[in-house]
Structures are given as structure tokens and as C-alpha cells.
Amino acid sequence: MTKPTIAVFASGTGSNYHAVYKAIQKKELTCDLALLVSDQPTSKVIEKAKEHNTPYFAFQPKEYSSKDAFESEILDQLRIHKVDWIILAGYMRLIGPTLLQAYEGKILNIHPSLLPSFPGLDAIGQAFKAGVKITGVTIHYVDEGMDTGEIIAQEAVKVLKDMDEQSLQKKIQLVEHQLYPTIIQEVITQSID
């Protein structure tokens, strides 16, 4: 039986890309990481992809006439690499109809809050400024909205009195790096059964 193939989409440092990569190396996640896609050609995640010999496609959205134009090119890359699942890991763009239709029910995202609270950008900052005592991590299917897809899993993170935004972010990332590979494995395994 062939293993499912994933593409990770990321825009920043690539800490969740790295967590997924490590889980595959440890055989905790049984899939092939076929491609990294980034809308930030100078991001740290590209350096990580090079270190790990992950093929990557990096693009500048402003060089395209529309979202449909760059998503069509991404779709070509996904087909070349025979990608079954898209795993968003800090990809800072809404997924448009081109990819949503081609990968319906096969796009996962991780978000650093307990959705539906604090969707969108800077969720950790939003939660911190709101003074919540509990925030967390959500893994969900992707739809056309901003962090509105069906929730698959959540894990709470306590906000301690002595925490600043940075220490809260570190605590949330520790949870993300454990939870995401586990849930990816569950979801892609269920899809095979």
C-alpha cells in the first residue's frame, strides 16, 4: 500500500514544518513529505526545506495577476509531486477556490487559539490582550473562511500569571508540535480505511 503524500504550506520560520518532518523521520507519521510551498521566498522555512532535502515551491504573490493565477501554479506543482493532502503550517493566506475545489476535505490547518475565539492574524497576541486564562491550539479542516472550517481537535493551554506573549507563544508551539503530527496521522489514516 502506498503512503499518502503531503505538501506543507508555510510562510514563516517553519517550526510546524519541522515538527511534521521529524515525526515522519521517527515513523510516528506515515506519509511522504513531497513538497513545501511558501509565499515568502526568503523565509526561514525555505532554509529548513533545503536542509532536509524537501522539494519546495516558493513564489511572490504580487508577481501574479490574481490568487487564481498563483494557486493554479501551486496546483500544477501539487500534481507533479502527486500530493494527496495539504497541511497548512503558518501559511498566512486564505486558500482560494482553485485549491479548495481540487483538495476538498483534504486541507488541514493549525491555529494557535481555541477557535472560534481569536481567528486570523496574531491569535496569541489577541488572546494575551484579552486577558484570557485559557487559550490553546485548534486543528481544523480548511474552508473558504478565515479559520472557520470544521474543528478536528483542540488542546487547551493555561495562561499563567507570570507569562508574557513570548513565553505563551513558546508554550503553545510545544503543544502544536506534539498535537499536529498526531492528528495528521489520525486523519490521513482514517481516509485510507
Q: Which residues participate in catalysis according to the annotation?
A: 111
Torsion, CA 38, CA 110, CA 183, CA 31, rounded to 10 = 0
Taking the CB of residue 58, how many other CB atoms lie within 10 A of it? 15
The answer to whether the Cα torsion of 36, 66, 106, 81 is positive or negative is negative
Q: How far apart are CA 105 and CA 76, in angstroms?
A: 19
Task: Give the helix ranges, DSSP H, for the chain.
Answer: 15-25, 44-51, 67-80, 97-102, 123-130, 165-192
Burial of 4 (0-12, 13-18, 19+ CB in 10 A): buried
Query: What does the chain come to in residues?
Result: 193
DSSP single-letter state for residue 122: T
Q: How far apart are CA 129 and CA 145, in angstroms?
A: 24
